[in-house]
Amino acid sequence: MRNTAWDHWLFRFFLAWYSIGVVLLLLDLVPSWLEWANAVYLWGAGLIGAVYLARTYGTALGTVLALIIFFFSMTLEGVGVQYNLFFGSYEYNSDFGMMILGVPLTIGAAWVAIVATSHNIVKYIYWLLPAASRWRRAPGFIFLGGLLVVGIDFVLDPVNYKLQEYWLWNEGGWYYDIPFSNFQGWFIIGILMHALLFFVLRNHSGFKLNRSAYWEPRAAAVYVLMTAMFTILAVAGGLWLAGVIGLVLVIVCTVITVQGNKLARRRRLSRVR
């Protein structure tokens, strides 16, 4: 599906907001009256994830998938907050805006961003591998998707909990006092989300690397940028293990994105010829 001028402005707005936010957070210059900016950032990232799905797989299907991810994640988060399930015993503060069942609506947008953008990176891996590779089968694709979802969580949770205090756990764990059940929950939910996307989309023309030349590399870049932001903040805040994990994830996903985009361009050129 063709992109429009609106697509370009959306991505430029996200980059500008992201860049300013990283600098302000890094220098600890975010005043209390500007905490709403966090919500704008998350809604922007979520909107990019939804637009990527819509442009790649069609407006109707992409929108439905984005809404499923949003409401499914909000439901699980709500149950988690109310009954201490999936992610451990935790609660959010009010910095992310309007809440339902103790969960900010922006958290649903964040899930859309993470799942949609990581989907494109796994899709790059899928097409870069030999056709006979077992990683191109359903279990491999879904496992890698879950790994990317929990991978970014290993960086963002320590930063948002220990440094920004956006949420609070009522129980500890070996990794920055975060309960291990949290990461189990992220991995399992990531697997479920990517299983949904794989089985619904694997026979769709958009699953190939020639449907959305504009959004495919940018969706992958958003995943890298989100991970990079938390990595920078982790290192600046002395969370070295989280910083190392984030750095490895950024490097690996950047290489995959560059190589995947090269492959997509070669395929588009071959079609023109």
For residue range 243-256, list pLDDT tens digits in order: 999 999 999 999 99
27-31, 71-75, 76-80, 94-98: range with highest mean pLDDT: 71-75
Closest CA to 257 of 228, 212, 217: 217
Mean pLDDT of 47-55: 97
Residue with tokens 């002395």: 238
pTM beyond 0.85: the answer is yes
More confident residue, 63 or 172: 63
Closest CA to 50 of 145, 124, 117, 147: 117
Could you give phi then psi for residue 96, rounded to 5 degrees? -100, 10
Element (H, E) at 49: helix 36-57
| 259/217 Cα distance (integer angstroms) | 10
| 42/44 Cα distance (integer angstroms) | 5
**Where are the domains positioned within the chain?**
5-272
State the chain's mean pLDDT as an integer. Answer: 91
Q: Per residue in 168-220, pLDDT tens?
A: 888 888 999 999 999 999 999 999 999 999 999 999 988 987 667 899 999 99
Least confident piece of the model among 64-73, 168-177, 227-236: 168-177
